[in-house]
Chains A and B, each alone.
Chain A
């Protein structure tokens, strides 16, 4: 970068951005660093940025406190199956709203948008009763099925698929393709980047969800990772084993960080059109 570029305004921008980056990454770094410190080592001050005697004991301790393997499996199952289902059903419905004319289309789409204003938590008591009637309490289905098709996901996919050329679909229809084959063999390959972007947003939402698994999962073995680490013993004062708890939180965020960096390329795609969340 040429030096003449460095006006006071640009300098201020760099300073603000760098400070915010440090603020963004520091708590995460602090968590990871603390998780490697022996429980007896002081962890309060900045003097101990890095552990002096790094240890893996906290990870061992947290895996004794919680059925971690099982919790991880639950979280992976909910997030993976839930994401695949929701991407499939939302893109299918998104294509329907973007590319077809049918009676009641506008009313149904308006209804879909209106549902976004109603907080799902409001009906949590009856939803619990429904889950109990279905036998889905302590069953991962209660976390996967209700969000298998979401209004926001359909809205996003509709926005994206609207740009798909009609002529291509028309040609496929003349060639004798059914509507589902048009979706599966012609639309899906082209909108794959949008599907991947939506998948990463949906995966983050499902992996990090806390309210619903807290309510539907009633035994330690069925807890998702988030509910499991929330049961770690936090108390006021020095008695809390923070390094052990930080080992738990590190395990809970690490998979997402890895996926996030692997899916970097889709980030821009993910937000350019939709500006929505799932």
Chain B
């Protein structure tokens, strides 16, 4: 019987299953089970103490017309787009420069550049809080010195997202620079030499060789950057507390407020589901897009 053969193979590999089991057990307890429970909870009204009150789709309906949720979603999308547009090209440029042959001080510069990533987000948040302070912050002091007026970085509805974006760019660019740098250093140097012989300049080589070769790594970077951007919490929490007037509030922050400050646990669960759903769609769209693109280039 084939199934007894399968059971035998499973039994023989029991040590191996033991080796991989910790992850799957932890995942089941701390991620999968919570997700199922969360799903159930999202159809209820609950403050964590009394009985759960089933309310059907009301939490989700509420989110559809909840202005705060829309603001938080919009802000998070802006953080994501800003991260994608600023961090990846900047990291690509820096990595390309760092990979230059016979670069003096490469090791030192690489170490210095990576320091922001080692610096905790909470610490950077507090530093930026001080530096962007309206009255006494360094940024406004410098603006005043060159004759420009002070800017209400952290207290204006219009620009409170900017310091959060600056913080993200400052802290995350080094990480992606190092990943892209390792990709560049793994490249076959003959590709560039051949193109140089054929008369291609540095800019042309960058676009026709470096970018295509790095494409899988760039794609990987974009996916991880997307996931991280949608999970933003600490940056606005420390820097602006989501304010003024929710203008810098992120989705996870809104989830935290509902779950742990005003104890609308059903609504918090619904927000968690909305976040998961949005992230799955965005990631899936990116993967499909990539597959289609790589399919097209193969045909060509």
**A30 near B118 (CB under 8 angstroms)?**
no
A190 adjacent to chain B (CB < 8 Å)? no
Residues of B within 8 A of A240 (CB): 130, 133
- Give me 15 other A-B pairs in contact (C-beta within 8 A), A20-B94, A232-B126, A246-B130 excluded: A13-B103, A18-B109, A21-B113, A34-B130, A92-B19, A97-B20, A118-B280, A119-B230, A119-B279, A123-B272, A126-B33, A210-B233, A230-B126, A260-B114, A277-B175
> Interface size (A, Cβ < 8 Å)?
96
Q: Which of A1, A23, A148 contacts B26 (CB 8 A)?
A: A148
Docked complex: A9-50 residues within 8 A CB-CB of B = 9-10, 13, 16-18, 20-21, 23-25, 27-28, 30-31, 34, 43-46
- Contact indicator B279/A20 (Cβ below 8 Å): no
Measured CB to CB, the closest approach of chain A to B256, in angstroms, equals: 8
A130 touches B34 (CB 8 A): yes
Are A252 and B122 within 8 A (Cβ)? yes
The minimal Cβ–Cβ distance linking A224 to chain B, given in whole angstroms, is 10
Report B's interface with A, CB cutoff 8 A. 6, 9-10, 13, 15-17, 19-20, 22-24, 26-27, 29-31, 33-35, 37-38, 41, 48, 93-94, 97-98, 100, 102-104, 109-124, 126-131, 133-138, 141-142, 145, 154-155, 170, 174-175, 178-179, 181-183, 185-186, 202, 217, 220-221, 224, 227, 230-231, 233-234, 237-238, 252, 255-256, 259-260, 265, 268-269, 272-273, 275-276, 279-280, 283
Partner of A126, one of B41, B122, B145: B41
> Is A69 interfacial (CB 8 A cutoff)?
no
**Contact assessment for B10 and A121 in the assembled complex, using a CB-CB cutoff below 8 Å:** no
Least Cβ distance of A143 to chain B in Å? 12
Quick one: given A30-B131, A43-B136, are A121 and B279 in contact (CB under 8 Å)?
A: no
A229 within 8 A of B: yes
